[in-house]
Amino acid sequence: MYDVAIIGAGVTGASIARELSRYKLKVIILERKNDVSCGTSKANSAIIHAGYDAKENTLMAKFNTEGNPMFDTICKELDVPFRRIGSLVVAFDQEQLNHLQILYQRGMNNNIKGMKILTEYELKTREPAINKNAKGALFASTAGIIDPMLLTISLMESAVINGAEYFLDYEVQSIEKQEKKFKITGSGKTIEATWVINAAGVYADKIHNMVSKPEFKILPRRGQYFLLDKTEGEIVNSILFPCPTKMGKGTLVTPTVHGNLILGPSSDNLDDPEDLSTTEEMLNLARTGAKKLVPSINTGKSIRNFAGMRAVADTGDFIIKEADDTPCFIDVSGIKSPGLTAAPAIAAYVIELFREKGLELKNRINFNPFVKRKIFMELPPVEQEHLLKENPLYGRIICRCENITEGDILDSIHRPVGAKTLDGVKRRCRPGMGRCQGGFCSPLVQEILARELNVPIEDIVLETKHSYILTNKTK
């Protein structure tokens, strides 16, 4: 019997799991995919938003404002790359310049520090590659870029190091409310818990409706991207947005924390939350939007296109509360952008909800806030030497694009929430993220995974359950 069962191992569920692991509670995270961070948390713009965009008095504004400043400490504790490079909303005409004033005022109302309206000269000095027709911008110094997959994985690792349990490949199929507990059934196992947290992303309405009367609907909205080679990563210095429209923040251009450039997302409403295909039409819109901001962008340098799915609630805001007719069932749903930014503040709020509702929260005295990770090539020479002595496999480069060694890959497999798939290794230490997109290193990573997990190489999948790469030997 668990105190709390969390459905969904995205950034929301993982953040809540980590916060709960500060207390003496029995916590379990249930995830339908074979790894953590496989939903929306793996495919987004990776921005820690400043907080001027969300409308005043919404939960989105509240948790964006509260979440943003928490990232310095969290990323230090969890060893996650994060850089506050600042964002710019760029205006091209008087109407848009007027809109910047609205955003600025909203930012002030949301209590955002470090904002300034830049003149055309100031903007062009800061961003020499910006379209020469740009007339000014709203600068927000607190906006930053992060690795969202590593953040989610590290949050999960932290929770697990501190006693949380998890099941992967566990799709919740039904939830039954009994007198003082929930009976959760899925993928061959039944779990009992006193409290349930619904952090199931695009499926949060389905999970809610398993146990409670319908209160909201999740509308999937896809966003498609270009990821450009590292040669393009320094074309801009900040995160660049156009003026927003009713469909969202528009196509942005930003460096990634690993030195690439990202363009997107597009925005289209879909019925199928699983449809993460990219389309020529939407990518063309993303390209046009990005080139309007920075005409010199060369999408010929694209190394990958990908799509993410926004979980847009029909209520227009995050839904974070106990279900109306089901005590002890807490929805943390409709977590669209700025959900990545908001996640740590949402988790802190959920703890307060628990406290109010009477869950006993006794501190875990030996809570360890730290997660340590190392990439051999990023270490100082003395540490490299030490590591090489400990394990010579740190001397064998597997991914030449990203400079990843066999030792790094072993670490990603044997960590507390270790990688079991090719993409799982990629999300943790980046082989396959570079220019050749795994063309050279994938077979080697497959061999290493098969050897370390002690399974036939044909059983190693790319990402999802049946995404087999090899079928049988040819020679």
Ligand X SMILES: Cc1cc2nc3c(=O)[nH]c(=O)nc-3n(C[C@H](O)[C@H](O)[C@H](O)COP(=O)(O)OP(=O)(O)OC[C@H]3O[C@@H](n4cnc5c(N)ncnc54)[C@H](O)[C@@H]3O)c2cc1C
- Binding residue for ligand X, selected from 200, 261, 323, 448, defined by CB under 6 A: 200
Choices 103-111, 194-202, 211-219, 229-237 (CB under 6 A): range interacting with ligand X: 194-202
Those residues whose C-beta lies under 8 Å from the C-beta of residue 220, and which sit 6 or more positions away, are 202, 269, 270, 271, 272, 273, 275, 309, 310, 311, 312
Q: What is the 3-state secondary structure (H, E, C) of 173-187?
A: EEEEECCCCEEEEEC
Choices 11-19, 96-104, 378-386, 395-403 (CB under 6 A): range interacting with ligand X: 11-19
User: How many Å from the N-terminal Cα to the C-terminal Cα in the chain?
Assistant: 51
341 binds ligand X (CB under 6 A): yes
Range 14-53, binding ligand X (CB under 6 A)? 30-33, 38-41, 44-47, 49
Q: What is the 3-state secondary structure (H, E, C) of 367-410?
A: CCCCCCCCCHHHCCHHHHHHHHHHCHHHHCEEECCCCEEHHHHH
User: Residue 254 corresponds to which tokens in the numbers above?
Assistant: 């930003």
Those residues whose C-beta lies under 8 Å from the C-beta of residue 379, and which sit 6 or more positions away, are 387
Closer of 347 and 429 to ligand X (Cβ): 347
- Binding residue for ligand X, selected from 199, 211, 227, 433, defined by CB under 6 A: 199
Closer of 30 and 460 to ligand X (Cβ): 30
Q: Indicate the SS3 state at residue 189.
A: strand
136 binds ligand X (CB under 6 A): no
11 binds ligand X (CB under 6 A): yes
Closest CA to 155 of 44, 8, 33: 8
201 binds ligand X (CB under 6 A): yes
**Binding-residue pattern over the window 238 to 267 for ligand X, x denoting contact by CB under 6 A:** ---------------------------x--
Closer of 86 and 265 to ligand X (Cβ): 265
Residue 108: phi, psi to the nearest 5? -60, -45
Strands (E), 159-216: 165-167, 172-177, 182-186, 189-198
Closer of 251 and 412 to ligand X (Cβ): 251
Using CB under 6 A as the binding criterion, the count of chain residues that bind ligand X stands at 40
10 binds ligand X (CB under 6 A): yes
65 binds ligand X (CB under 6 A): no
Choices 20-28, 201-209, 379-387, 455-463 (CB under 6 A): range interacting with ligand X: 201-209
- Residue 40 CA from chain centroid, whole number: 7
87 binds ligand X (CB under 6 A): no
Choices 298-306, 337-345, 353-361, 407-415 (CB under 6 A): range interacting with ligand X: 337-345
Asked if 265 contacts 253 with a C-beta cutoff of 8 angstroms, the reply is no
Closer of 16 and 297 to ligand X (Cβ): 16
424 binds ligand X (CB under 6 A): no
335 binds ligand X (CB under 6 A): yes
Q: Strands 182-186, 189-198: parallel, antiparallel or unpaired by DSSP?
A: antiparallel
Closer of 139 and 225 to ligand X (Cβ): 225
**Binding-residue pattern over the window 264 to 283 for ligand X, x denoting contact by CB under 6 A:** -x------------------
Q: How far, in Å, are 146, 231, 240, 296 from residue 256 at the CA level? A: 7, 12, 12, 18
344 binds ligand X (CB under 6 A): no
Closer of 266 and 446 to ligand X (Cβ): 266
Asked if 226 contacts 361 with a C-beta cutoff of 8 angstroms, the reply is no
Q: What is the DSSP string of 228-243?
A: E-GGGTTS-SSEEEE-
172 binds ligand X (CB under 6 A): yes
Catalytic, 49? Answer yes
Interface ranges with ligand X (CB under 6 A): 7-13, 30-33, 38-41, 44-47, 49, 170-172, 199-201, 203, 207, 223, 265, 308-310, 335-341
* Residues forming the active site: 49
